[in-house]
């Protein structure tokens, strides 16, 4: 099992989604290479403010994935998976400490992410619009490789722990029967 996460998993931690605004400017616009290059001072202010995300705490969904030992491919830059205790996290868009990938930049760790999802029997997608490419292609890639893909985009803090418990118990039961 592998998880692929986006901004929706971190909303209840107080981190805005990609479709929200900062000082009236859509994050979707700010987080582009073109914007960062053209409006350097505004982008610098934005980046200084989002450094506060390092003080945020993981959500119940982050902790559930870590406790279950599920490897994670994430679009998120907030490092909450690592803070929750996840051991294997592949960051496609970097992180706040080492620098972030903006739209217009090449994603990081693509080959590792693609290899991980193509080896999965289950891909749990959490909080992803699947609009940002190439990351948004990962569920299709996993499905084409034979994985069952499940998507949780609402109420992740409630639904992810329950989904993991139900799925892992089912897998345990199946392996006991075999």
Show which residues are catalytic: 93
d(CA 121, CA 148): 6
Please give the Cα distance from 20 to 48 (Å, whole number). Answer: 18
Question: Which of these, 164, 170, 137, 169, lies nearest to 150 by C-alpha position?
Answer: 164
CA atoms within 13 A on the CB side of 149: 21
């Amino acid at each position: 099992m592998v998880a692929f996460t986006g901004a929706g998993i971190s909303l209840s931690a107080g981190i805005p989604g990609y479709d929200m605004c900062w000082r009236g400017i859509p994050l979707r616009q700010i987080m582009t290479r073109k914007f960062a290059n053209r409006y350097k001072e505004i982008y610098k202010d934005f980046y200084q403010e989002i450094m506060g995300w390092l003080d945020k705490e993981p959500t119940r969904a982050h902790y559930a994935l870590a406790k279950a030992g599920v490897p994670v491919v994430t679009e998120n830059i907030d490092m909450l998976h690592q803070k929750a205790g996840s051991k294997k996290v592949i960051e496609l868009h970097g992180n706040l400490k080492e620098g972030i990938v903006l739209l217009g930049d090449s994603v990081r760790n693509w080959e590792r992410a693609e290899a991980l999802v193509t080896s999965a029997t289950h891909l749990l997608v959490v909080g992803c619009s699947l609009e940002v490419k190439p990351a948004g292609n990962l569920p299709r890639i996993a499905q084409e490789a034979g994985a069952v893909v499940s998507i949780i985009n609402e109420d992740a803090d409630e639904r992810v722990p329950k989904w993991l418990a139900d799925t892992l118990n089912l897998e345990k039961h199946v392996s006991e029967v075999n």
